[in-house]
Structure 1
């Protein structure tokens, strides 16, 4: 195995292969691939992310099934969103538009978490997770979801334990930090584009219970 290999470095390698001049960054297939990476990262945090992980898994499956039903027609997230907007189904609980919205928010949470992790070397991991949650997901969560998070955060692993698992078999922590910075830079254009699509269709303010 290559020294310093981790799921994050693998994601960086894959995203780096994308054409930087491609204006279809919000392709459904790329979005699904990044969402599946997100699941792997949350798995590393442990049981505390079980509820969020299940939501992400459900949303990935919903969008994937929709995409596979006619992949040529729904190759971009914009087409998926516009179809449901035109049909008046975008705001329904089982819509792909909601799936895209919550997957995007979950990615933003993960990016915030990873950025804080490498910038703040002193704070407890529990505090870092809580701060990332408060600035990303919490504004969109109702009291049920917020209460579930408060209970789950008590199961957060130690910072060193999480970093060790993220770093991979070779435990190259310096390379992990560089990979996280690279991943954030590569993900930001995708997140910016999808957020713009959601705003343009007035789908960006939806809250959960």
Structure 2
């Protein structure tokens, strides 16, 4: 897992193809979320797992990338019906299939897990990443994981680097790292909340 390099004075977030801050959310259309931008942002976020540095995080990253792939495949198969994530899910379910819809459920859980872990860690100066990630895992992914998968993810939580080492990998200027992370995580939290609300609705279930 190689961490992307970035220019001197820059941060890891500068290397992202798309930031969640820039993902269009159409408030006039029931908070419709642009599919392509969202998937690019989700894909970019997985770079953070590379910064965590341990191969133990490979299953976490691979799981998220696999779910991005499922959604992209549906988008490519029916582009006219997939401009927003909500349209993509509703239109796929009309075909009696739910591969992408299920992929989005798991992707949202993975994003929720990452968002909660990093937000909690930023909010608590002295807390190590392993504690933040373990707490987030218990509240998001763990209840949905089988007894076979749980130990794999638990191992990743234990393999978190020390807090100071992780943030250094995100950028040399720590004030800038925090200044960029805060709005990024706030935007991600908003998108996750919108999608969880949508997935709770009857039209999004199969």
TM-score when normalising by structure 2: 0.83
For 1:53 and 1:65, how far apart are their aligned partners in 2? 18
For 2:24 and 2:137, how far apart are their aligned partners in 1? 32
**1:79 is aligned to 2:87:** yes
**1:144 is aligned to 2:148:** yes
Distance 1:99 1:17, change over 3 A: closer
Is the Cα–Cα contact under 8 Å of residues 25 and 189 in structure 1 kept in the other structure? Answer: no
Find the counterpart in structure 1 of residue 41 from structure 2.
34
Distance 1:156 1:189, change over 3 A: closer
Is the Cα–Cα contact under 8 Å of residues 81 and 96 in structure 1 kept in the other structure? Answer: yes
Is the Cα–Cα contact under 8 Å of residues 6 and 166 in structure 1 kept in the other structure? Answer: yes
For 1:187 and 1:151, how far apart are their aligned partners in 2? 25
Structure with more relative contact order (C-alpha pairs < 8 Å, separation 6 or more) = 1
Distance 1:10 1:20, change over 3 A: farther
Find the counterpart in structure 2 of residue 196 from structure 1.
197
Count residues with an aligned counterpart.
Answer: 198
For 2:74 and 2:8, how far apart are their aligned partners in 1? 38
For 1:186 and 1:149, how far apart are their aligned partners in 2? 25
Q: 1:103 Cα deviation (Å)? A: 0.8
Find the counterpart in structure 2 of residue 58 from structure 1.
66
Find the counterpart in structure 2 of residue 184 from structure 1.
185
| Runs of 5+ consecutive residues of structure 2 not aligned to the other structure | 1-5
Deviations 1:100-153 (CA, angstroms, capped at 9, x unpaired) = 111111111111111122112222221221112112211222212212122333
Q: 1:163 Cα deviation (Å)? A: 0.9
Find the counterpart in structure 1 of residue 125 from structure 2.
121
Distance 1:126 1:188, change over 3 A: closer
For 2:72 and 2:38, how far apart are their aligned partners in 1? 10
| Runs of 5+ consecutive residues of structure 1 not aligned to the other structure | none
Is the Cα–Cα contact under 8 Å of residues 26 and 32 in structure 2 kept in the other structure? Answer: no
Two-structure CA RMSD over aligned residues (Å): 2.7
TM-score when normalising by structure 1: 0.82
Find the counterpart in structure 1 of residue 3 from structure 2.
none
Q: 1:6 aligns with which of 5, 11, 24?
A: 11
**1:157 is aligned to 2:161:** yes
